[in-house]
Amino acid sequence: MNRRSVIKAGMSAMVAAAAVATGVRAQSWPSRPLRMIAASPPGNASDTVLRLVAPLLQAELGQPVVVENRAGASGNIGARACAAAAPDGHTFLNSTNTMLTANPHLFTAGRVDPFEDLSFVLPMVNIGMVFVVRPDGPWKTIGELLDDAHRHPGKLSYGTPGLGSPMHLIGELLKERLGIDMAHLPYKGGVPMVGDVLAGQISVGIVGYAVVSGFLQQGRLRTLAAAAGKRLSILPDTPAIGELVPEASLGAWCALVAPKGTPAPIRARVAREVGKALAQPDIVRKLRPLGLDQIPGDEDAVAALVRAEYAHVGALIKRLGITMS
C-alpha cells in the first residue's frame, strides 16, 4: 500500500469513528435535564414560548426541561451562555433575530457569531410588532402619519424599546426609503415607551403587540400598521408596513439554536418535538392573542432567515453608525 492509500484509509477511519461517536451520543441522549435558555426576563415572547413548549417536550423525552432566564446585554448574556455550553444536546437557546443578525454588528465585545458559535435547530415564532398612536390623534392610517412626517420634517417623533432593536431599524428604514425626518426616542423597554405614547409625549410607538394588546382592547391606543412584511393573524384587517414600503418589512422572530457541534440527530429530534408542540391547538390558542405565530421549517429555514437578514441589517447599522458597548 502506497503512502497516499495509507493516508486515505486513515482519514476514512477517522470519519467513521466520528460518525460512530456521534451515533453513540445520540442514542444515550438525553441523560439529564435539558436547559432551555431565554435571553430575556420572564414574560417576554421568547420566555413565554419556551414555557408553553417545555412540558410537552419533557413528556416526549422523559427528562425535565428547565427554562433558564439569562437576560442582559441585548441578549448577548444568554447567547454566550449557550455558545459556551457543552455541545451534547442538553443546552438550547431561544434566540431572537436581534441576537443573531443585529448584535454581531452592534457590539464590539462579547458578541456571538451565529455561524461560528451556534448550531441552528428550527424557527419558532414571528413576534408581532405594531405602530400605535393615541386614538384621539390626527392619524387614522399609517399612510396619513407618514404623509404628515413628509410634509412637516422634524415635527413627529417615534419611540422604540431601544437602540438597535427591530423597531428602531424599521423606523430608520422608513425614514431612509421615504425621505422623511422623524426623531427617534429610544427607551429601556416597551412599557415606558408606551406610557409616553399614552401621555402624548411622542407621536407614534413601534412595539411588540403583546405589550399593547390590553390598551388596544380598551380603546386607549390605535394600531396603524403591523411592523412586518405581512399582516398579523390577530389583526387581519390591519395592513402591514411591508405593503406600503417593502424595504421596511424587517420583522421580529425567534429561533431555537444550540452550541456549535451539537449532533445533528439530536437537533433533528428536538426540532421535530418542538415543532409538534407549537402546532398543538392549545398552544396556538395561547400564542395567537400575544401576536405570536409559528414559523414552519427546520434548521435550513433558520439558516436562510439569518443569512438573508444578517447582511441587510449589518449594512443598515453601518450606515446609521450605531454601536453598543
Contacts of 307 (CB under 8 A, 6+ apart): none
Would 8 be classed as within a structural domain? no
Q: What range defines the domain where residue 78 resides?
A: 31-127+254-320
The last residue of a domain, from among 248, 281, 311: 248
pLDDT in tens, 136-149: 999 999 999 999 99
In a domain, 23, yes or no: no
pLDDT of residue 19: 45
pLDDT tens track for 150-171: 999 999 999 999 888 999 999 9
Region 88-106 average pLDDT: 96
Tell whether 94 and 134 lie within a shared domain.
Answer: no
Which CATH number fits the domain that encloses residue 204?
3.40.190.10
Q: Over 70: is that where the pLDDT of 318 sits?
A: yes
pLDDT of residue 1: 52
pTM (whole model) above 0.85? yes
In this prediction, residues 101-109 reach a mean pLDDT of 92
CATH code of the domain covering residue 266: 3.40.190.150
Q: Are residues 120 and 258 in the same domain?
A: yes
Number of domains in the chain: 2
To the nearest whole percent, how much of the chain has pLDDT over 70? Answer: 91
Render pLDDT for 261-289 as a digit per residue (tens, 0 to 9): 999 999 999 999 999 999 999 999 999 99
Q: For 212-236, write each residue's pLDDT tens digit.
A: 999 999 999 999 999 999 999 999 9
